[in-house]
Amino acid sequence: MLQHFTTTTTHGTHLTFTPHTTQLPFQDAMSRLNTEVIPDPTATSSNKTKQAADGTSERQAPKNWTFINFRPHAPQGTPIDSLAITSGYGDGDTTSIHREALPRLDKGSWLVTSLVDFHCHEVGNVCYESNGKFTNAVRIDPKASPLDHNYVAFPMNARESHWALGILTHASDLLEEHNPSGPIHTSLLVLNSIHGYNPRDLDKRYRDFIRLLSMGKKFRKGAISRVKLFKPEVLQQPNGTDCGLYPGHFLSVFLTNPARYEAICKGERAAGESIDDLWHGDRVLHARDNLRDLVERVCIVRQAAHSFHSGRTPADLGLEY
């Protein structure tokens, strides 16, 4: 079971969550995220020539990963059911859960957007700060782009009725400032618990989505057309109600070893085990209970914060969970 401590703030009847520190079973997750090539300043002239040829000597090492988690206004002419696109951590926007969303945690209920976001948000915090040390660092600032990172994860919504997880790998390869002349290895992985149920026109529209993530930063010429789309075999949900649990679950598994899971998803490496074992099918059975525990925990912290700062009880404020 996930064990978290979360600091919270409140706005009306919302529960608003901010990044926190914790220590969970993903102890080595972050050490595996450093996959970027960083030139050796002591390299010989022959090595420097090789680096110049493949562009690594000019790269700026990108940050490791970010998660983007809620939907802005859709561009004109873009159907609302396309992709759940967001700004990332550190820009003042956080995940909020309405009181009315809490019954959706019950077995057999569909998860609403805020719960899907929160699940991925908490998984991300675990892997980002898994060394158990306090840090004030945030994944992204207001002037940054999600594409400054190696990995960008986001929930994808299909036809307003189904959730899948998208992971953009080697995202920083697309930007001129990070990769002015080197190879572009960027791919979009779509981890979908119901195969074939994707956002409409996904093959065409994901490129528009990537353009939105640039935040105005300059792309390499022709870079977006080189992004490859993969729809790997993953766990399939056993019912019609649990799709919202799978983005957070898939992300929690992927981040334990991103390089391995990326290679398997792209067909570059054999899994060597069944789909169920690879994606920890035994653990997804408890995902709904784990998510409920997370929400209940932040509710308790929120109530305590109100009581401490106001001298009034949660009941006085109408904030009891």
Residue 216: the pLDDT is 85
Q: What is the token pair recorded at 80?
A: 């609302």
**Do residues 89 and 120 make contact, with C-beta atoms less than 8 angstroms apart?**
no
The residue behind tokens 């306090």 is 134
Q: How many CA atoms lie within 13 A of 137 on its CB side?
A: 11
Residue 240 pLDDT: 85
Q: Which regions of 147-261 does DSSP assign to beta strands (E)? A: 149-158, 162-169, 187-191, 228-230
Tell me how far CA of residue 90 lies from CA of 12, 96, 144, 175, in angstroms: 22, 15, 10, 21
Q: Strand, coil or helix: what is 158?
A: strand
Mean pLDDT per segment of 10 residues, for the chain of length 321 residues?
25 28 29 30 42 47 51 34 30 54 74 71 46 38 72 78 88 93 94 83 80 88 93 93 88 90 97 96 88 72 61 58 46
pLDDT score for 122:
59
CA distance 201 to 159: 11
Both tokens assigned to 292: 């409920």
Q: What is the pLDDT of residues 12-37, one digit of tens each?
A: 222 222 233 232 222 232 233 233 23
Instruction: Report pLDDT for 226.
Output: 94
Report DSSP state, residue 160: T
Give me the pLDDT at residue 155, please.
81
Separation CA 235–CA 249 (nearest Å): 10
pLDDT in tens, 167-192: 999 999 999 999 999 999 999 999 99
Strand-pairing partners, residue 187, are 169, 228
pLDDT of residue 302: 59
pLDDT for residue 89 = 35
Query: What pLDDT score was predicted for residue 73?
Result: 34
Beta bridge partners of 153: 67, 167
pTM: 0.61
